[in-house]
């Protein structure tokens, strides 16, 4: 079965090089899920029309800072209006939360390297995952866990220190992950295969 996936590239510097691991990850995830993907690349500043044919959306990381207002208005509108399955990665996770009114802020520390993630809720995105697992992180900002966030999203997973790691929209198949599954080896591939199986 062939599936069209929209890959939104949010990187500012070295965009072509930085998006390459996402393509490799998508190939590996598709193979694990037994699917054939056609990846449609889009720049976050030039998103496709709403009637464009794609089955799901992946929104990449970025060097930009959502908390400093570095989010294209068109991207925020796209995220709010999209009802297809969506997975926001790092910056994509933060942009998704911000598009629906949640707060994104600088953390007291920079997060680099592997971090232990704890599942709070059962969710098909984490089918066959243990209660705790490790993923690679690379970020300075975090999504604030408060009423503005939890009115729209469920917090599916958090870090050992209680930071928001995974969100899911309460009504639509929209997910955000603070970590980088495309850099996390087998667990990241399994997460993507689970996401693809939701479509």
Q: Which positions are catalytic?
A: 90, 180, 182
Of the candidates 89, 43, 84, the one whose C-alpha atom is nearest the C-alpha of residue 188 is 89
- In Å, how far are 97, 114, 131 from 149, measured between CA atoms? 7, 25, 23
Question: What is the Cα–Cα distance from 124 to 119, expressed in whole angstroms?
Answer: 12
Question: What is the Cα–Cα distance from 97 to 86, expressed in whole angstroms?
Answer: 12
Query: 67 near 61, Cβ under 8 Å?
Result: no
């Amino acid at each position: 079965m062939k599936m069209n996936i929209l890959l939104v590239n949010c990187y500012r510097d070295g965009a072509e090089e930085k998006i390459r691991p996402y393509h490799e990850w998508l190939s590996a995830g598709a193979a694990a899920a037994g699917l054939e993907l056609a990846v449609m690349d889009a720049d976050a500043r030039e998103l496709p029309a709403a009637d464009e044919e794609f089955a799901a959306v992946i929104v990449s990381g970025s060097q930009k800072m959502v908390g400093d207002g570095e989010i294209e208005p068109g991207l925020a509108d796209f995220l709010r209006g999209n009802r297809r399955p969506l997975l926001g990665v790092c910056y994509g996770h933060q942009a998704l939360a911000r598009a629906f009114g949640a707060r994104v802020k600088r953390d007291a520390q920079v997060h680099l390297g592997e971090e232990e993630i704890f599942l709070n809720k059962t969710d098909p995105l984490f089918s066959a995952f243990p209660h705790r697992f490790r993923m690679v992180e690379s970020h300075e900002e975090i999504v604030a866990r408060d009423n503005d966030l939890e009115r729209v999203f469920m917090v599916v997973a958090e870090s050992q220190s209680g930071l928001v790691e995974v969100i899911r929209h309460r009504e639509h198949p929209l997910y955000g992950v603070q970590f980088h599954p495309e850099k996390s080896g087998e667990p990241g591939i399994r997460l993507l295969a689970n996401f693809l199986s939701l479509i």
